[in-house]
Structure 1
Amino acid sequence: MTMLRDRLKAALDPDAAIDRLKRLVHCPSVTGQEDDIAALLEVDLQTLGLDEVTRWAFATGRFNVRARRSIASDRPTVLLVGHTDTVHVRGWQERWAGTDRANAFAATEVDGEIWGRGTADMKIGIATALSAIDLLNRAGIAPSCNLQLAFVGDEESGEPGSGVSAGMKALMPVYDTGLWPIPDLAIYGEPSSLDVYTAHMGFFICDITVNGKSAYFGLPEQGVDALKAGNAILTALWQLSDEIRAAGSDPMIGPGFLVVTGVNAGGYIAVPGDCRISLIRKLIPGEDAEVERQRLETVVRNAITDDLITVTFGYPAGRDSSIGGTPLVTDAAVPAIGMLIDAIRSVVPAAGRIGPCAGWSEGPFLSARGAPVVYFSPGDFVHCHTLEERVSLGAYADGILALAIFLASYGQTTA
Structure 2
Amino acid sequence: MSPDLHNRLLAALDRDDAVELLRGAIGRNSVTGNEASMADYLHGQMQGRGIEDIEVTAFAPGRPNIRGKRSGTGGGKRLLFIGHTDTVHVEGWEQHWAGDIRENPFGAPIVDGEIWGRGAGDLKAGICSSLAALTLLDRAGIRLKGDVEFAFVGDEESGEPGSGVSAGVKAHVARIASGELMRPDFVVYTEPTQLAVYPAQIGFFIADITITGKSAYFGVPELGRDALKASHAVMSALWAHSDEISARAEHPLVGRGFLLITTLNGGGFIAVPERCTLSLIRKLLPGESLDAAAAELESTIRGAIADPEIQVEIAYPAGRDHALGGTATEIDLTHPALALLQESVGQAMDGRGGIEGAPFWSESPFFVNGLGIPAVYCAPGDIRNCHTFEERVSVEEYLAGVVAFAGFIARFCGMEDNN
Whole-angstrom CA distance in 2 between matches of 1:304 and 1:414: 68
Structure 2 residue aligned with 1:396: 398
- DSSP 3-state at the match of 2:282: strand
2:242 aligned with 1:250, yes or no?
Answer: no
Q: Distance in 1 between matches of 2:268 and 2:119?
A: 36
**Is contact 1:143–1:409 with CA below 8 Å preserved after alignment?**
no
Q: Report the counterpart of residue 10 of structure 1 in structure 2.
A: 11
Aligned residue for 1:386? 388
Which moved further from structure 2: 307-316 or 388-397? 307-316
**Residue 108 of structure 1: how far off its partner (Å):** 1.9
Helix, strand or coil for the counterpart of 1:67? Answer: strand
Partner of 1:407: 409
Structure 1: gaps of 5 or more residues: none
**Distance of aligned partners of 1:38 and 1:387 in 2 relative to their CA distance in 1, 3 Å threshold:** same
Per-residue CA deviations over 1:115-166 (Å, capped at 9, x if unaligned) read: 1111111111011111111222233322342111101111112223221111
- Structure-2-length-normalised TM-score: 0.94
8 Å contact from structure 2 (residues 349, 397) kept in 1: no
Cα deviations by residue, 1:26-51 (Å, 9 ceiling, x for unpaired): 11112222121112112211221111
Equivalent position SS for 2:263: strand
- How much identity, in percent, do the aligned residues show? 48
Aligned mates of 1:71, 1:85 — CA distance in 2: 30
Alignment partner of 1:271: what SS?
A: coil
Structure 2 CA distance for aligned equivalents of residues 74 and 353 of structure 1: 30
Counterpart position of 1:345: 346
Structure 1 residue 206: Cα displacement = 0.7
Residue 211 of structure 1 and its aligned partner are, at CA, apart by 1.5
* Residues 345-394 of structure 1 deviation map (CA, whole Å, 9 limit, x = unaligned): 22223211111112111111111312111111111122122221110001
Q: Does residue 322 of structure 2 align to residue 321 of structure 1? A: yes
Give the aligned length: 415
Name the CA distance, whole Å, in 2 between partners of 1:259 and 1:5. Answer: 45
Superposition pairs of residues 138-287 of structure 1, within 5 angstroms: 138-217=139-218, 220-287=221-288
Partner secondary structure for residue 6 of structure 2:
helix
1:314-358 CA distance string (max 9 Å, x none): 111111111111111111211122111121122223211111112
Which residue identity does 1:78 align to in structure 2? L
> In structure 1, what residue type is equivalent to 2:376?
V
- Cα separation, 2, equivalents of 1:116 and 1:215: 52
The aligned counterpart of 1:330 is 331
Alignment check: 8 A CA contact 2:142 2:416 kept: no
CA RMSD of aligned residues (A): 1.8
The one-character-per-residue Cα deviations of 1:269-318 (angstroms, maximum 9, x if unpaired) are 44332211111111112321111111100110111122221111111111
- Change over 3 Å in CA distance of 1:144–1:336 after alignment to 2: farther
Q: SS at the partner of 1:391?
A: strand
Query: Does residue 115 of the first structure (1) align with residue 119 of the second (2)?
Result: no
Query: 1:17-56 residue pairs with structure 2 within 5 A?
Result: 17-56=18-57
What residue identity is the alignment partner of 1:225? D
Contact 2:207 2:317 in 1 (8 A): yes
Which residue identity is paired with 2:11?
A
| Long gaps (5+) in structure 2 | none
